[in-house]
Amino acid sequence: MAVNESEDHHPHILIFPFMAHGHMIPLVDLAILLSQRGLTVTIVSTPFNIARIRPTIDGLICSGCDVRVIELPFPCKECGLPENCENFDMITSHDVAARFMLATRSLKEQFEKVMPQILPNCVISDFLLSWTSEVAHNFNIPRICFSVTCNFSSVLRFCLNMHKPQDGVSTAHEPFLVPGLPDKVELTKSQLPDAFAYRECEEKEQMLLFSKEVANAEEESDGIIVNSFYELEPSYVDCYKNTTGKPVFSVGPLFLCHEKRGERGKKSSIREEECLDWLGPKKERSVLYISFGSISFLSRKQMEEIKMGLKKLGCFFIWAVKELDDLQFIDSLEEETRDKGMIIRGWAPQAVILSHPSIGAFLTHCGWNSTIEAISFGVPMLTWPLFAEQHLNEKLVVQILGIGVKVGSDVISMALGEEDAVQVVKREAIVEAVQRVMGPGGEGERLRERARKVGDTARKAVEEQGGSSSLNVDYFIDFVNGRRLTVPASIP
């Protein structure tokens, strides 16, 4: 491991996120966390994405943190992508999605050229940017793989790659047991991450190779950082370390770093003010929050089923919709539910919403950023996974932690240009699930109590004095400085 001795106590960390909103958020939060510890941090990305995070970076610099940025032009046109398509949130079809993923390789040559200018003590890059591993090691610099999901789902991916139990079933909906886990977990091929079930497209063979490169680079990495905390999934943290043979640093929930900066709870935008004003007079645990993340589109049929379910429930709700969703439908939805609902078009201040006492449940796609935020604020979940590893995250929430109820989506679907072919969850299933979670007594009360306890452990994990995630940050800094080559198997 190469270490710049002159920076022994203040290492320089280079962070390279994959260009998607849900991947960039936790890595920018990690940059904040490390800069708060006195480390120098350089974030590498494309011009569009640097512009997105620039206000946050400028705020860090103003507070005395040493955070730098480097822009690498993204060759959209040369890679067959629409002009200025620099973020995965802009993807509109499976073919374009595949081309975007493959196009990230084109940044390798530029990255190689800037490395001599930086020579960081360590490279932390998104697990999807597998080629950064080769570049870092060519300069004798350790590369740490950043996992954008939990230890549980990462272990499942590793076991699926290693044991391939999915090859032993004949249909997409036949359940199989995932070997090598602390718990009995069953999946179907229809629920597997896209890496194991890429759709037919011109780039399918290249995408299968891309997936192998990602898996190989993870195995070759010098360590893994996870946006989770030990107490949430202790047996899977230990399992991840044992199966990979790598040091695993669980340093989350990363978004809570904003509280240390005094940001959480402030009315820092008009939209936050609007949300807080709307939520203010509502009774405790009386509001359902709905969001399917920044990428997924829902079909008109599906949105209609959700609307009719909400009408039947009669509960208060906040629904965050994409700006590119069916505008005509959104206009009518807003008009028809004005007395009960608040529709947010585009960006929603999710942490502000979830932290409010009037929120009773979260109808979510189980993206890990959304999941860890709900966990941290003790909000029970209605799980509706759509793509990537979201069905794996659902297993953690519903089966392992017992803080959520499944709504009914059983298949992978990115819903890109084929919304009408996607499984439609009926209003009756939506109503039943919401009533189970938000209803008085019984199952709902047990879910709320379990969620509250898990939320308490999340906040304790990031406490500076003795919190398991804070200790893991210390271990990581020691690891980079060459003073510690292993991480304790467990943290009490």
CA distance 87 to 21: 7
CA distance 48 to 159: 36
CA distance 178 to 287: 37
8 A C-beta contact, residue 33 and residue 257: yes
CA distance 66 to 63: 9
Omega prior to 253 cis, within 30 of 0: yes
CA distance to 4, 11, 405, 469, per residue, from 40 (Å) = 13, 6, 42, 20
8 A C-beta contact, residue 187 and residue 168: no
For 159, which DSSP code? H
For 180, which DSSP code? S
∠ CA 106-112-118, nearest 5°, is 130
CA distance 253 to 24: 15
CA distance 295 to 92: 9
Q: What residue has token string 């591993």?
A: 133
Beta bridge partners of 446: none
Neighbours of 403 (CB within 10 A): 27
Checking DSSP bridges between strand 287-291 and strand 341-345, what pairing results, if any? unpaired
8 A C-beta contact, residue 379 and residue 451: yes
Q: What is the DSSP string of 272-312?
A: HHHHHHHHTTSPTT-EEEEE-TTT----HHHHHHHHHHHHH
Q: Which ranges of 37-124 would DSSP assign to H, the alpha helix?
A: 47-62, 94-103, 108-118
Checking DSSP bridges between strand 40-45 and strand 12-16, what pairing results, if any? parallel
Q: Which residues, 6 or more positions from 215, have their beta carbon under 8 angstroms from its beta carbon? A: 161
The H-or-E segment that residue 239 falls in is helix 234-244
The H-or-E segment that residue 146 falls in is strand 143-147
Instruction: Just list the catalytic residues.
Output: 23, 126
410-423 in b/e burial notation, b at 16+ Cβ within 10 A?
A: ebbbbbbeebeebe
Neighbours of 6 (CB within 10 A): 7
The H-or-E segment that residue 287 falls in is strand 287-291
